Structure 1
Amino acid sequence: MSILFLLASLGVVNGLLIGFYLIIKKKRTVADSYFGLLLLALSIRIGKSVFFYFNREVDQLILQIGLSACIFIGPFFYLYSKALQKHEQDFKRKDGLLLLALLVAIIGIGLRFPYRSFPEIWNGYIIYGIYSVWILFTLLGLYYSGRMLKGVTLSPNKMNGNQQYVAAIALAMLFITCTYQVALFVGFTYIWGALIFSFTFYYLLGRALLTKKSITPKVPVQLLENGNELLAQVNDLMASQKPFINKGLKLDELATQAGMSKHTLSRVLNEVYEYGFSHYIKEYRVNEAKQLITTRPDLSLEGIGYEAGFNSKSAFFEAFKKIANCTPAEYKKFR
C-alpha cells in the first residue's frame, strides 16, 4: 500500500513543480503554457484522488478543489493539442474567454453550493456537468492530436520525436479520462488514473533527460505570411504619424498603432527588416535628425536629437554615428 501511495503521489508532486516551471519560464511557447496548466489541473485532481483513496476522512474542501480542477483538464488538453497542431505563436482571445467562462462558472457554483454543505449536489448534477465538459474537450484534443499523428498512428516506428511525445500524452489523457469516467458510473477505483499519470509523466521526463530536449514537443515556426506587406504597413505609419518621436516608444505601443500583435511586429522587424525593433526606431530617428539638420538651422545638434526622439545627447550621437557612419556635426558641415 505504501509503494502504491508513493508511486501515485510522486507524479502529483513533480507534476505540480514542472507545471509551474512551464508556466513561468521565460522562453515559453503557447503550447508550453497550456501543457503546464494541464499538468497543474491533472495534479490537483489526481492529488485529491490519492488523498481520498488513502484517507476517507479528508476535508471536503479538498474534494471540492479537486473536482473543480476537473473542469479544466479537457479544455487545457484541447488548447494544448490545438496550439501544437496549428503552430500557434500567440494566445487567442476566444480561448482566454473560454477559460474565463469556466473559471467564473466553477467559482460561482462553489460559492453558491460549497461541498461541505451540499455534498449531494456535487456528487450529482455538478460532477456530471464537470465530467461532461472534461470528456467533450478531451475528444476535441484527441482530434487535433490525431491530425498530428495522421499516417503514423498504427506505425509507432515511423513517428518522429515530437509525434512520440504527442502520442504518449494523447494515450495518457485517453486512459486517465476513461478511468475517471468509468469510476463515476460503475464505482471502478480511480487510483489507476493516478498511476497512469505518474508513469506517463516519468516516461516524458525520462525521454527529455536522455535526449536533452524539452518535456514538451517543439512548435515549428511557420514562415511569416505577407511579411513585406506588414513591414510596408509599419513604414507608412512611421512616415505619416512619426510615432518614433515619442522618446519612450515601446514595441507593444507601436504594434497597437500598426494594428498587429506585439509578437507579429517583433517577427516582422526581426525576420523581414532583420535588425530588430531598437535599430528600426533608431534608423527613423536618425533620418528625422538628418532632415532637421537641413531644415532647422535654428536648432542646436542636441536640440535636433531631442526633436527626433532621442532621450539624451549621447544616445543621439551614438546612434547617428552607427547608422550614418559620421557624427551629426560632420553631417551638418557637408550639407
Structure 2
Amino acid sequence: MSLEDQMLFFFSAIGAFNGLFLSLYFGVFTKQKSRSSYFLAGLLFVLSVRVAKSVFMTFVPGISSDFIQVGLSACLLIGPFLYYYVLSALGKEKSNSKWIWHTLPIVVAMIVVGYYFPYREHRYLWQRKIDGYLAWFLFTQWLAYIIISARVARDAFKRVFSKANSDNIDFWLVNLIICMAIIWLAYFTNGYTSYIVGALSFSFTLYLSILIWVFKKRDKVLFFEAPKKYANKKIDAAQSKDLMPSIVSEFKEQKAHHNPSLKLSDLANKLAVPPHYLSQYLNDNLNKNFSTLVNEYRIEDATQMIGEYTHLTLEAIGYECGFKSNSAFYNAFKKFKGITPAQYKKSIS
C-alpha cells in the first residue's frame, strides 16, 4: 500500500472507528442516558458499519461478501434512527414503543432480502445500475428520512438561520441533519468521484460536528456566526431589578408556561423588553436558559398537581402543564427531580 493509500485509509477509517466508540459511549457509558442518546448511539453505529464496509472494500482485497452485504443493509437503519433521534431530542415522540414497530419490519426485511438475494449471488441488485433495485431503494429510503427529519426540525432551522434565539440543541440538530445529507450525497455521487469519498465525508462531518458541539457548549461564537453585540456587556443590576418580579408574575399568576408553544420572544413581548435582553438576563443573572426556566415552572406545577389531582393521569398532567408529549414530560421531570413522575406519585401515595 502506497503512502497516499495509507493516508486515505487512515483518514477514512478513523471516522468509522471513532463513530463506533461514540456509539458505545452514548449507548452504554454516558451518565445522562435518555431515549435520544440511545437513538444517537444507534445512528452512529449503523453509519460506522456502512463506512467501515466502504473502507475495507476499497483497501482490503478479497473482503467477505457477507460483510459487504451487512454494510449495505445498514443504510436501511440510518434514516429511522436519525428520524427518531430528532423526534426524541425535540420532545415530539408521542409513543415510547412506536419506534420498535417502525424499525422492526425494516430489520425483518433486511434479513429476508439478505437471505433470498445475497450480495455474493445477486451483486447486480445491490449496485446502483439500471437493474440495481435494492441499491436504488436503499438510497431513496435514506434520502426520504433525511427530508422528513428536516421537516420535523424545521423550527430549529428557522431559529438558527434567522439568527433568532436558539438553544444548543437547535445548532446540533441542524448540523446533524446537514451532515447526514452531505454523507448521503457523497455516497450517491461516488460514481463521479471516488468510492472512498463517502467514508472521508463521514470522518470530516463527524469531527466538524464534535467541534461545533464543543464550541456551542462553551457559548463560543462560531466562524459563520455574527458576533453577539451584547456578549461582553453585562446588564446593570439596577436596570434588571424590576424584571424578575415581572417574570415571576407571568409564570406564577398568568401561567404562561402552560402554553406548549411558548417562545422566548413571546415572553419578551409580554415583559416589553427585547428578546436578546431577556435572554442575556436569564443567562447572566439566573445562570439558566429560557427552556430550563420554563421547564422548572412546569415541573413545579406538575409535582403539585400529582399530589392534588389524583384522578388525573400523569400524561394528562404533563399536557396540562405545557409539555407537548409524554416523553418530554418524563425526561424533564427526571432531570429536575431525579425520578420519574410515576416514581414520584408512588412515593407520596
TM-score, normalisation: structure 2: 0.61
Corresponding position: 1:55 with 2:95: no
Aligned to 2:180: 173
Aligned to 1:250: none
Aligned to 1:37: 42
Which of these residues, 100, 103, 111, is aligned with residue 115 of structure 2?
Answer: 111
Corresponding position: 1:235 with 2:310: yes
Corresponding position: 1:97 with 2:82: no
Distance 2:67 2:187 in 1: 17
Distance 1:61 1:113 in 2: 12
Please say if residues 266 and 276 of structure 1, whose CA atoms lie closer than 8 Å, have aligned partners that are also in contact: no
State the AA in 1 paired with 2:208.
Y
Aligned to 1:190: 195
Distance 1:277 1:132 in 2: 41
Aligned to 2:26: 22
Distance 2:165 2:344 in 1: 45
Largest Rg, 1 or 2: 1
Aligned to 2:245: none
| Secondary structure of the corresponding residue to residue 149 of structure 1 | helix
| Secondary structure of the corresponding residue to residue 152 of structure 1 | helix
Q: Mark the CA change 1:212 to 1:267 in structure 2 (over 3 Å): closer, same or farther.
A: closer
State the AA in 1 paired with 2:113.
I
Corresponding position: 1:80 with 2:88: no
Q: Mark the CA change 1:98 to 1:224 in structure 2 (over 3 Å): closer, same or farther.
A: farther
Q: Mark the CA change 1:149 to 1:99 in structure 2 (over 3 Å): closer, same or farther.
A: same
Please say if residues 79 and 95 of structure 1, whose CA atoms lie closer than 8 Å, have aligned partners that are also in contact: yes
RMSD: 4.0
Matches within 5 A, 1:100-249: 100-123=104-127, 124-153=132-161, 160-183=167-190, 186-208=191-213, 222=295, 223=298, 227=302, 231=306, 235-236=310-311
Structure 1 stretches of 5 or more lacking a match? 238-259, 285-335
Please say if residues 168 and 216 of structure 2, whose CA atoms lie closer than 8 Å, have aligned partners that are also in contact: no
Once the two structures are superposed, residues 67-125 of structure 1 have per-residue CA deviations (whole angstroms, 9 ceiling, x without a partner) of: 010011122112222223x3247753322211111111111111222222222233312
Aligned to 1:246: none
Once the two structures are superposed, residues 3-50 of structure 1 have per-residue CA deviations (whole angstroms, 9 ceiling, x without a partner) of: 111111011001001112212235222222211111111111011111
Distance 1:143 1:231 in 2: 35
Q: Mark the CA change 1:27 to 1:121 in structure 2 (over 3 Å): closer, same or farther.
A: same
State the AA in 2 paired with 1:204.
S
State the AA in 1 paired with 2:110.
I
Corresponding position: 1:68 with 2:76: no
Q: How far does residue 225 in structure 1 lie from its aligned partner after superposition?
A: 11
| Identity rate, percent | 25
| Secondary structure of the corresponding residue to residue 150 of structure 1 | helix
Q: Mark the CA change 1:152 to 1:180 in structure 2 (over 3 Å): closer, same or farther.
A: same
Q: Mark the CA change 1:235 to 1:105 in structure 2 (over 3 Å): closer, same or farther.
A: same
More helix by share: 1
Aligned to 1:295: none
State the AA in 2 paired with 1:127.
A
Please say if residues 83 and 145 of structure 2, whose CA atoms lie closer than 8 Å, have aligned partners that are also in contact: yes
Q: Mark the CA change 1:262 to 1:33 in structure 2 (over 3 Å): closer, same or farther.
A: closer
Distance 2:114 2:162 in 1: 43
Q: How far does residue 144 in structure 1 lie from its aligned partner after superposition?
A: 2.5
| Secondary structure of the corresponding residue to residue 235 of structure 1 | coil
Once the two structures are superposed, residues 117-168 of structure 1 have per-residue CA deviations (whole angstroms, 9 ceiling, x without a partner) of: 222233312222222211111111122333212043265x976533332232
User: Which deviates more from structure 2 when the two are superposed, residues 57-66 or residues 202-211?
Assistant: 202-211
| Secondary structure of the corresponding residue to residue 148 of structure 1 | helix
Once the two structures are superposed, residues 159-190 of structure 1 have per-residue CA deviations (whole angstroms, 9 ceiling, x without a partner) of: 6533332232222111111122223xx45323
Question: How many positions carry a matched residue from both structures?
Answer: 255
